[in-house]
């Protein structure tokens, strides 16, 4: 092969080239590339210089041949920075995925997309930087993040069900349907009969799976007396303010509401604000349930009944699923169990 190859044919510098130039063993270079354990300061200096001089760059193809992985995973969140910092779920996820990777001595880089241009820049970075895979969250279809990453041949696992692409994109998700079902049965058991739903944006599981499963469970319920019914549904964008606006509209249209299910905790908080402004008490007049068990669900008054997502477990499964795809090209979908957490917002005093 080597003899037949024209001199113009590209050959990437290898770890051996770096070792030769630095005057150290390939094992030392390998240890350096895998985090620097047991590499002296002097060797580190020689190796970094040799990497610069040879133009060696780790990329997923080259490093996979050697170690099966490149050592770095990109976490791509398709939201603008302001929205990213506003939603406590992203914090929980970033911390959990970072921890899961660090426990395996691997690193995470975080990219925020949030619009088509940023998604294009993210794609370029993923292709050229040599990360060995991507975890994606909150992908907006119009930014074509999945298509871009898949076209670039980069292993990809999404957090949450990728609406409409479940058969093409690997994902790890909480058991959305089960969570919504548990919440429906709980609200009905607590006496709610005329229930409104505040859903998330249509591109996300909270905009489809959660409200659909909730409505199906309400329709299927066999309760005594008046049959429970979902009397109205509005979409929010997961912010407190959108939950407040949706609840206001729902209250104006259906003053008889006695229960609200919001597809995340922040919109549930907004609904509670709107109910208060309308002179109604939670839980005395209206029961309110959220989703996620995010920060503050269990600390702000009224303490919020919600469905707990286990972000630690989700992060572990994400890294496992990504590894399976990197190592064996296998696409896996994982559903992680959820848990109903009952607090004050759905339990009437004395009930």
Q: Which residues bind its own copies (CB under 8 A)?
A: 2-3, 5, 7-8, 10-14, 17, 32-37, 44-45, 48-49, 51-52, 54-59, 61-62, 70-72, 74, 81-82, 85, 91, 94-95, 98-99, 102, 105-112, 117-118, 120-125, 127-131, 151-153
Question: Other CB atoms closer than 10 Å to residue 193's CB: what's the count?
Answer: 18
* Eight-state DSSP code of residue 303: P
Q: How far is the CB of 314 from its own copies (least distance, A)?
A: 15
Count of alpha carbons within 13 angstroms of residue 286, beta-carbon side = 29
Q: By C-beta, is 85 or 328 nearer to its own copies?
A: 85
Q: How far is the CB of 227 from its own copies (least distance, A)?
A: 44
Q: By C-beta, is 23 or 255 nearer to its own copies?
A: 23
Distance from the Cα of residue 183 to its chain's centroid: 21
Q: By C-beta, is 53 or 277 nearer to its own copies?
A: 53
* Eight-state DSSP code of residue 142: G
Q: How far is the CB of 300 from its own copies (least distance, A)?
A: 15
Q: Please give the full DSSP string across 197-212, using - where no structure is assigned.
A: EEE--TTSGGGTHHHH
Distance from the Cα of residue 51 to its chain's centroid: 35
Q: How far is the CB of 3 from its own copies (least distance, A)?
A: 8
Q: By C-beta, is 45 or 276 nearer to its own copies?
A: 45
Q: How far is the CB of 116 from its own copies (least distance, A)?
A: 9
Biggest CA-to-CA distance, the chain: 87
Q: By C-beta, is 91 or 178 nearer to its own copies?
A: 91
**N- to C-terminal Cα separation, the chain:** 80
Q: How far apart are CA 190 and CA 311, in angstroms?
A: 28
Q: How far apart are CA 92 and CA 338, in angstroms?
A: 16
Q: How far is the CB of 294 from its own copies (least distance, A)?
A: 12
Q: By C-beta, is 40 or 281 nearer to its own copies?
A: 40
Q: How far apart are CA 331 and CA 318, in angstroms?
A: 11
Identify the residue whose tokens are 């210089």. Answer: 49
User: Helix (H, G, I), strand (E, B), or coil: what is residue 157?
Assistant: strand
Q: By C-beta, is 165 or 216 nearer to its own copies?
A: 165
Q: How far is the CB of 280 from its own copies (least distance, A)?
A: 26
Count of alpha carbons within 13 angstroms of residue 349, beta-carbon side = 5
């Amino acid at each position: 092969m080597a003899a037949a190859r024209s001199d113009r044919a590209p050959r990437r510098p290898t770890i051996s080239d770096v070792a030769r130039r630095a005057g150290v063993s390939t094992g030392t270079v390998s240890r350096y590339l895998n985090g620097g354990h047991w590499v002296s300061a002097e060797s580190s200096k020689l190796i970094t210089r040799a990497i610069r001089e040879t133009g060696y760059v780790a990329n997923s193809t080259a490093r996979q041949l050697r170690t099966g992985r490149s050592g770095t995973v990109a976490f791509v969140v398709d939201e603008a920075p302001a929205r990213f910092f506003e939603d406590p779920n992203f914090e929980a996820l970033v911390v959990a995925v970072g921890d899961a990777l660090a426990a395996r001595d691997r690193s995470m880089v975080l990219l925020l997309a949030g619009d088509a241009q940023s998604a294009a820049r993210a794609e370029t970075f993923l292709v050229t930087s040599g990360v060995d895979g991507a975890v994606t969250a909150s992908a907006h279809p119009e930014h074509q993040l999945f298509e871009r990453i898949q076209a670039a041949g980069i292993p990809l696992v999404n957090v949450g069900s990728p609406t409409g692409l479940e058969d093409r994109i690997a994902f790890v998700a909480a058991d959305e349907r089960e969570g919504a079902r548990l919440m429906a049965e709980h609200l009905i058991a607590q006496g709610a009969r005329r229930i409104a739903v505040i859903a998330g944006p249509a591109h996300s599981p909270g905009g489809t799976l959660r409200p659909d499963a909730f409505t199906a469970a309400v329709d299927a319920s066999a309760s005594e007396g008046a049959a429970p019914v979902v009397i109205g549904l509005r979409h929010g964008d997961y912010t407190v303010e959108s939950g407040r606006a949706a609840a206001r509209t729902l209250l104006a249209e259906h003053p008889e509401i006695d229960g609200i299910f919001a597809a995340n905790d922040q919109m549930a908080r907004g609904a509670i604000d709107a109910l208060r402004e309308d002179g109604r008490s939670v839980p005395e007049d209206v029961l309110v349930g959220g989703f996620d068990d995010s920060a503050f669900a269990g600390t702000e008054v009224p303490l919020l009944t919600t469905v707990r997502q286990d972000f630690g477990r989700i992060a572990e499964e994400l890294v496992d699923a990504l590894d399976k795809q990197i190592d064996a090209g296998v696409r896996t979908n994982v559903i992680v169990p959820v848990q109903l957490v009952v607090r004050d917002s759905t339990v009437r005093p004395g009930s």
